[in-house]
Structure 1
Amino acid sequence: MIKAVCFLALFSFGLISCQTEKSRSQYPVTVGDIEFDEKLDDPAFKKCTPEKLISVQYYQGSKEFGYKGEKWAIIEKLEKEKISSETKKNGYITVRFLVNCEGKTGLFRVQQMNADLTVTVLDKELGDRLLRFTKSLDGWIPKEIKGFKVGYYQYLTYKIENGKVSEVLP
């Protein structure tokens, strides 16, 4: 009887263990990883690390802003573009993306929030214009860890006041 109970317990644990292993594989390696989406992403964009390795998040590694000319260069370029909206709404539009070890960008994702930080579509056209602007930025600097260039996630949050970008975060 004891052998039967032990066998049943081990057999049940084996089934649970196998099912747990399968469910883990559906999640990204690291929380926040952006998975390739053939409807949104450029198939020519390549990550520098194999899929099993992580890309560095924006808060890891060096504390400098990884863009030539720093954030001021982005702000100057944005001011020249004069991107705005007729809707006069307030909120935030965040564009998150991956910078690979060559300084090229891809896997762009956009999230819009109102002034109360509730996820919503603040202004689709403005979001599309800011996405195109962010994609046009070509001065991203690869990060290095122990002498190796690595890809990293970056984001730009555009604060919108009365339909105009009033601030670029971080």
Structure 2
Amino acid sequence: MKRKKVLKIVGIVIGAILIVIAALSAFGYYMMYYSLLPNEGEFKHDAHYINPEEAILNDDFNVCNENYIFQYYNQSEVLPYLNGKNGFRDYINKNYENRNYSDSGYFNIRFIINCEGKAGRFIMHENNLDLEPQAFNSDLKKQLINLTTSVKEWQPIFLFEKNRDAYMYVSYRIENGEITEIIP
């Protein structure tokens, strides 16, 4: 009789432990694979959302999944520059020409890299070195937009076993018309 009670208690304890392990495993799986996925339509109200109607160079551009556009930094292994950041910086510095510009500040270009490595939905922001809104010389803006948008291949982010769409930005720090830094 006592042996039956002991086996029953051991069975209940082992069963409870298995249920807890299964629950923790299911929670861990959810956190790893589903908790980072955005809800449908979530990006339309977030700061990084780029409205396709306001963006430029959007005619032939399509995202692979409008409801799941991630940030480029969700993938930590590599930045989306196809030839690496140094290759991108070398390309910009080789082709950029300071035409006696006196502008200083940050010229930011935000865009989306789709799952195929193509870029589109470009939008620009201009700030002085104190990050206050300012307008840059129109020729300088045109030159930086042309250089950035002429890059036709980017490295799509790889997340959850698949290439994904991602928001990306390139910020040019400019001092007296010279590019002093390219971020990120």
Q: Same fold (TM over 0.5)?
A: yes
Deviation for aligned residue 1:63: 4.5
Q: How does 1:1-170 map to 2 (within 5 A)?
A: 28=44, 30-37=46-53, 40-49=56-65, 51=66, 53-170=67-184
3-state DSSP of counterpart to 2:50: coil
State the match for 1:20 in structure 2: none
1:97–1:105: 8 Å Cα contact kept in structure 2?
yes
Over the residues paired in the alignment, what is the CA RMSD in angstroms?
2.1
1:48–1:100: 8 Å Cα contact kept in structure 2?
yes
Letter in 2 for 1:155: Y
Percent identity between matched residues is 29
Where structure 2 has 5 or more consecutive residues not aligned to the other structure, the ranges are 1-40
Task: Spell out, residue by residue over 1:11-46, the C-alpha distance to the aligned partner (whole angstroms, 9 max, x if none).
Answer: xxxxxxxxxxxxxx8x80644111112773422100
Task: Decide whether aligned partners of structure 1 residues 29 and 101 sit closer, same or farther in structure 2, where only a CA change above 3 A counts.
Answer: farther
Distance 1:87 1:67 in 2: 27
Where structure 1 has 5 or more consecutive residues not aligned to the other structure, the ranges are 1-24
- TM-score, structure 2 as length reference: 0.71
Letter in 2 for 1:32: H
Distance 2:144 2:136 in 1: 12
Larger-gyration structure (1/2): 2
Deviation for aligned residue 1:103: 0.3
Distance 1:36 1:144 in 2: 23
Deviation for aligned residue 1:138: 2.6
